[in-house]
Structure formats: structure tokens, C-alpha cells
């Protein structure tokens, strides 16, 4: 019996080994190297400078770095706002197109288009649409009597624009995930509620929403982490401007690493980013697990 157990364990590890090796090569080793790098002073474009150990200097530097602080605040606001809109609109859309009629299936297929567009392509398209002189959005606005709006030139509007583009791209995905949750709701409960005279709003609030809550929590977590990683849309639409209005953390880390070639500082920023995101994810997962344990 013991031999069988040992055999099983060995085979399990054998099957896991390729994945572990792959992760080690592509994730763990680069991560450890970045961590090591963050304690040194290394500039890729200055080969005559010998890298030297600087301890926590790179980490301390972050707190005095105005652009880092601003990009972090921007990223948090962007993530929270985007995700709230994505989930709200995603649920509304899901409720509207969750049926099985031909029309609803066609709408679902059409709505997939933003989702499957590359973020760079979406950002470029929207940049052209929102150009205040030649963009279609302002053209249509002027036709109905609105003034021309400087979407990407005004700091607040530029921020709103990048949120709109992000939400536009992600809402279809959220809707699709929520639809799968809606289809899992037993129809008997809904019919009983209808028979008892419950209004549609009451049915949604008291039956549907609690039923899809676990899915929404997962969607929130995934989207929140993804929103923090926004890069392509910002890069092509605004470049972080005007000023620092739309400067996001990933763009800032990119600048440090691949424009200024300050590999050590970029590594420190990236490690801090990973640590914070891991903490947020852990908090979420712990809260979810505790709630599930309570329900049981």
C-alpha cells in the first residue's frame, strides 16, 4: 500500500515537472532576478558604470518620485472606476441579451467585436474617433448642435476617454461571463417569485443578484488586476498626457525600463507592483473563502 502511495506521488510530481520547469524558467527565475536587480544600480545604456549594491535606495526613491505617486493614484482611480462601470454595464447588458432568441444571439456575436480587438488597435481607432478636429464623435456632436470637445487635450476628459475605451472593450466579456451565471439560476425560483407577485426589480435584487454574486466577485478580482495592468490603450491614445493626466503605473515602469534604461529602478517598481497586487488578490480570496465558510 505504501509502495502504491509513493508511486502515485512520484507519478504526480513527474506530470507536474514540465509545468514547474516552464514556470521556473519563464516566471520565477526572471522574478528573482528582478528582485536581485532592484537592490543594485544598473543602467543598460551606460556599460562603463559598474553596477553597485544600493540596498533599498530604489524603493525609497519611489516615495519622493512625483510622477510615480501621480501614476499610482491615476491607476487606482482608473481601475476602480473602470471596473465598477464594467460590472454594472456588463450585468445590465447580460440581463438584456441572455435569452436564446436569434436576435439576442446575433447581438451577442456582434458585441464580441470590441472584446476581440487588440488594445492597440482599439486605442488607435478611438484616438482617431476622438480627435477634436477630424474625429467622428465631434462631427456627430456638431451635427446635433454640440460644441467641439477636446477629448484628448483636456486633462479630465482625456482620463474619462481612456476609461470609456477600456469599459467599451471589456463590458462584452463581463456580459458573457454573467450570462453564463444567469443561465445557472433555477427557473423555478423565478417563476415562483412571479407567481407571488414580485416585481422584476425585486426579482433581480433579491434572487438574481445573490445568485450571480460569486461570479461577480471573481469578475471583479480579474478585472481589477487587469485594469491595473493597462498599458496599450494609454500608450497609443494619450502617451500619459496631457501632462500627467493619464500617466499610469505600467506606462511609467515602461518608461523607466525601456526609455531611460534604468533597469534597477524599473525592477524595484515592478516588484512593488507585484507585491501590492498579490496582497490585494490575497485579501479578496481570503474574504471570499471566509464568507463561503460562513455560509456553509
Q: Judged by CB under 8 A, does residue 75 bind other proteins?
A: no
CB of 32 to other proteins, least distance (A): 21
Closest by alpha carbon to 174, among 233, 118, 227, 228? 227
Q: Judged by CB under 8 A, does residue 141 bind other proteins?
A: no
Q: Judged by CB under 8 A, does residue 48 bind other proteins?
A: yes
Which of residues 24, 56, 243, 282 is near other proteins by CB under 8 A?
243
CB of 156 to other proteins, least distance (A): 10
Residue with cell string 500627467: 244
CB of 274 to other proteins, least distance (A): 22
CB-CB contact of 38 with 264 (8 Å): yes
CB of 247 to other proteins, least distance (A): 8
Which of residues 260, 275, 282, 291 is near other proteins by CB under 8 A?
260
User: Chain centroid to CA 154: how far?
Assistant: 24
- Of all helices (H) and strands (E), which one includes residue 174? helix 155-182
Which one, 141 or 153, has the nearer CB to other proteins?
A: 153
Which of residues 50, 66, 102, 195 is near other proteins by CB under 8 A?
66
Residue with cell string 507536474: 16
Which of residues 46, 60, 194, 274 is near other proteins by CB under 8 A?
46
Which of residues 247, 248, 253, 267 is near other proteins by CB under 8 A?
247
Q: CB under 8 A: which stretch of 101-109, 130-138, 200-208, 220-228 binds other proteins?
A: 130-138
Angle (deg, nearest 10), helices 102-116 and 155-182: 140
CB of 130 to other proteins, least distance (A): 8
CB-CB contact of 224 with 79 (8 Å): yes
Q: Judged by CB under 8 A, does residue 211 bind other proteins?
A: no
CA torsion 268→270→273→277, rounded to 10°? Answer: -130
CB-CB contact of 182 with 98 (8 Å): yes
Residue with cell string 477636446: 150
Residue with cell string 491607476: 75
Instruction: List the grid coordinates of 108.
Output: 451577442
Residue with cell string 461577480: 216
CB-CB contact of 215 with 177 (8 Å): yes
Q: What character string, x for contact with other proteins (CB under 8 A) and - otherwise, covers 148-187? A: x-xxxxxx--x-----------------------------
Which one, 23 or 128, has the nearer CB to other proteins?
A: 128
Contact residues: other proteins, CB under 8 A: 43-49, 65-67, 131-133, 148, 150-155, 158, 238-245, 247, 255, 258-262, 265
Amino acid at each position: 500500500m505504501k509502495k502504491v502511495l509513493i508511486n502515485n506521488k512520484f507519478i504526480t510530481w513527474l506530470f507536474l515537472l514540465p509545468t514547474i520547469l516552464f514556470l521556473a524558467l519563464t516566471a520565477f527565475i526572471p522574478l528573482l532576478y528582478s528582485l536581485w536587480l532592484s537592490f543594485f544600480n544598473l543602467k543598460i545604456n551606460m556599460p562603463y558604470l559598474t553596477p553597485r549594491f544600493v540596498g533599498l535606495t530604489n524603493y525609497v526613491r519611489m516615495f519622493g518620485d512625483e510622477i510615480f505617486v501621480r501614476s499610482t493614484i491615476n491607476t487606482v482611480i482608473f481601475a476602480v472606476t473602470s471596473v465598477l462601470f464594467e460590472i454594472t454595464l456588463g450585468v445590465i447588458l447580460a440581463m438584456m441579451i441572455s435569452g436564446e432568441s436569434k436576435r439576442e444571439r446575433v447581438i451577442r456575436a456582434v458585441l464580441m467585436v470590441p472584446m476581440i480587438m487588440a488594445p492597440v488597435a482599439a486605442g488607435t481607432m478611438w484616438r482617431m474617433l476622438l480627435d477634436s478636429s477630424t474625429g467622428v464623435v465631434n462631427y456627430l456632436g456638431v451635427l446635433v448642435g454640440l460644441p467641439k470637445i477636446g477629448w484628448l487635450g483636456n486633462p479630465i476628459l482625456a482620463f474619462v476617454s481612456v476609461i470609456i475605451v477600456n469599459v467599451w472593450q471589456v463590458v462584452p466579456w463581463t456580459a458573457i461571463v454573467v450570462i453564463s451565471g444567469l443561465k445557472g439560476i433555477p427557473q423555478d425560483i423565478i417563476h415562483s417569485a412571479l407567481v407571488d407577485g414580485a416585481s422584476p426589480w425585486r426579482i433581480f435584487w433579491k434572487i438574481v443578484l445573490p445568485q450571480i454574486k460569486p461570479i461577480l466577485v471573481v469578475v471583479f478580482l480579474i478585472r481589477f488586476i487587469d485594469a491595473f495592468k493597462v498599458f496599450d490603450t494609454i500608450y497609443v491614445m494619450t502617451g500619459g498626457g496631457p501632462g500627467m493626466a493619464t500617466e499610469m503605473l505600467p506606462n511609467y515602469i515602461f518608461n523607466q525600463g525601456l526609455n531611460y534604461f534604468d533597469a534597477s529602478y524599473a525592477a524595484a517598481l515592478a516588484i512593488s507592483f507585484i507585491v501590492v497586487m498579490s496582497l490585494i488578490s490575497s485579501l479578496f480570496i481570503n474574504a471570499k473563502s471566509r464568507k463561503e465558510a460562513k455560509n456553509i
